[in-house]
Amino acid sequence: MFKMTNAHTRAGKGSTLNEFVIATDSAADLSAELVQELGVEVYSLSFTMDGVTRHDRPDQSELPVKTFYDRLRAGSTATTAAVNVSDFTGGLAPALEAGRDVLILSFSSALSATCQSAQVAARELQEAYPGRRIYVVDSLAASLGVGLLLWHAARLRRSGASIEDVRDWLEANKLHLCHWFTVDDLHFLKRGGRVSAATAVLGTMLSIKPVLHVDDGGRLIKVGTARGRAASLRALVDHMEETVTDPSAVFLSHGDCEEDALQVAEDVKRRFGTEHVYINTVGPVIGAHTGPGVVALFFLGRQR
C-alpha cells in the first residue's frame, strides 16, 4: 500500500531504485487506487471551506468529496491554494538521495501557481543533487486530463522508456489532450469570472448549459451552449467524434453526479467501441470553481 506524508501521497511497492519517479499534484483528480496502480507520487493542493484549510488528497482522508459537494449545495464556498515549493523539495529529496531521477507533470500553469512551485523546486533540487535528472512538464491540462497523460506516462515507463523518452512524449502529445466539459450550475462559473452575472441568471432561467474546453494555453474557455442537461452531455461526445484519434483510453470526471458521467461513458462506448472508460470525481480544488454537476470528458485527438 501507499503511505501518506504531510503534503503528498507516495506510490507503493511497485517502485524500484532503478526506476525514475513520476510525480504530479492533486489537481489531476486521481483516485487512491489509480495512484497506486500507476506508481506515481501526488502532491496536494489545499482548499479552505467554512474556515478550515485541508489538503486535497486522493484518498479523501481530510474531507470526503461527497461532503464537500453537499456543503457547496448548501451555500458554502471554497478557496484554493497551490502546492508549496517546500512540499516538492521535501518530498522528492529522498528519491534523489537514493539515486532516482524525477519527472513532474503539473497542473496547467494558466490555472494555478503549482507548476511554478514545481519549477522552483526543481531548480533548488538540481543544485542540491547535480548528478540527478529533474524535469518539469507543464501539462497545460486539468483534472483527469492530467490523469490521462499520467496513465500514458506510466505505461511508457513500464515498457522500459527512459525519463527523457517519457518527457518528450508528454511534450509532444499534451496539446492533443482534449478536454470537453459542461456544468450544471452557472453561478460557480460566475464567481470565477468565466461568465457574467446576467448570463448566469438568464442561463439558469432558460436551462442553457455552457460547453467549455481547455485551450492550447491551458486556459478554461467557453465554446458553446446547449439547451438542457441531456443536450450538453451529448455535446461532449459530439466534440469527441470530431477530433478523436485514440478512443481506446478515455477518462471522465464528475462533480458528484455519477449517473450523468455513466451516461456519457455509455455514449462513448456505443459510438467508439471503447471497452473501458475510467471515471472519478472532480476533487475539491477544481470543484470549488466548477461546482456540483460538472462532467468532463478527456481523450487524445488531432487538436484541442
Q: Which domains does the chain have, with CATH numbers?
A: 3-174 (3.40.50.10170), 176-301 (3.30.1180.10)
Provide the pLDDT for residue 203: 58
Provide the pLDDT for residue 1: 23
pLDDT digits (tens, 9 = 90+) for 88-123: 999 999 999 999 999 999 999 999 999 999 999 999
Provide the pLDDT for residue 2: 23
Residue 217 in this model has a pLDDT that exceeds 80: yes
d(CA 38, CA 44) in angstroms, rounded, equals: 17
Provide the pLDDT for residue 189: 66
**Cell numbers of 28, please?**
489531476
> For the chain, what is the mean pLDDT?
91
- Segment 67-77 mean pLDDT: 96
Indicate the pLDDT class of residue 248, thresholds 50, 70 and 90.
Answer: very high
Looking at residue 269, the DSSP 8-state letter turns out to be: H
Residue among 302, 227, 292, 228 nearest 261 (CA): 292
**Cell numbers of 233, please?**
452531455
Provide the pLDDT for residue 5: 37
d(CA 1, CA 253) in angstroms, rounded, equals: 24
pLDDT digits (tens, 9 = 90+) for 168-185: 999 999 999 999 999 987
Provide the pLDDT for residue 185: 77
Indicate the pLDDT class of residue 201, thresholds 50, 70 and 90.
Answer: low
Which 3 state secondary structure label does DSSP give 302? coil
Looking at residue 55, the DSSP 8-state letter turns out to be: E
Provide the pLDDT for residue 300: 98
pLDDT digits (tens, 9 = 90+) for 132-157: 999 999 999 999 999 999 999 999 99
Q: Bigger pLDDT: 199 or 213?
A: 213
Residue 16 in this model has a pLDDT that exceeds 80: no
Which 3 state secondary structure label does DSSP give 276? coil
Lowest mean pLDDT among 3-17, 23-37, 63-77, 203-217: 3-17
